[in-house]
């Protein structure tokens, strides 16, 4: 890497020029606001999706196998599982917002 101040030749990973001390590699200033917003939205959707899948499977399993003596038909079990998916999606988004705020 050539120093812009004194035109001395430096290695590619040198942070400061060996001759004049000019900073050659600057630290990144961080992510832009658009990047942070997009990452936050994606994080919320991902956690919401995982929560929905987990809620659907968990409630469906419990209604079908654990609480089998309630004699629920398949439509009632499916409706309960959809309710579990909705609740799981909300819980997942709450968890995502909590994690995003802490970091």
Token pair in block for residue 93: 């988004």
CB count in 10 Å sphere of residue 12: 7
Mean pLDDT of 56-60: 95
Residue-range domain boundaries for the chain: 1-28, 33-102
Confidence grade of residue 90 (pLDDT, cut at 50, 70, 90): very high
Q: How many residues does the chain have?
A: 103
1, 38, 42, 49 from 22: Cα distances, Å: 12, 36, 40, 49
Confidence grade of residue 10 (pLDDT, cut at 50, 70, 90): confident
Q: pLDDT value at position 28?
A: 56
Mean pLDDT of the chain: 88
Confidence grade of residue 27 (pLDDT, cut at 50, 70, 90): low
pLDDT reading at 37 higher than 60? yes
Mean pLDDT of 50-68: 94
């Amino acid at each position: 890497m050539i120093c812009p101040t004194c035109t001395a030749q430096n290695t590619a990973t040198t942070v400061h020029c060996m001759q004049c001390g000019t900073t050659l590699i600057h630290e990144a200033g961080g992510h832009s606001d658009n990047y942070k917003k997009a990452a936050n939205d994606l994080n919320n959707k991902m956690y919401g999706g995982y929560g929905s899948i987990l809620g659907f499977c968990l409630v469906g399993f419990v209604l079908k196998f654990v609480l089998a003596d309630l004699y629920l038909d398949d439509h009632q079990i499916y409706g309960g599982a959809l309710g579990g998916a909705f609740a799981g999606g909300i819980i997942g988004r709450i968890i995502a917002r909590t994690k995003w705020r802490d970091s």
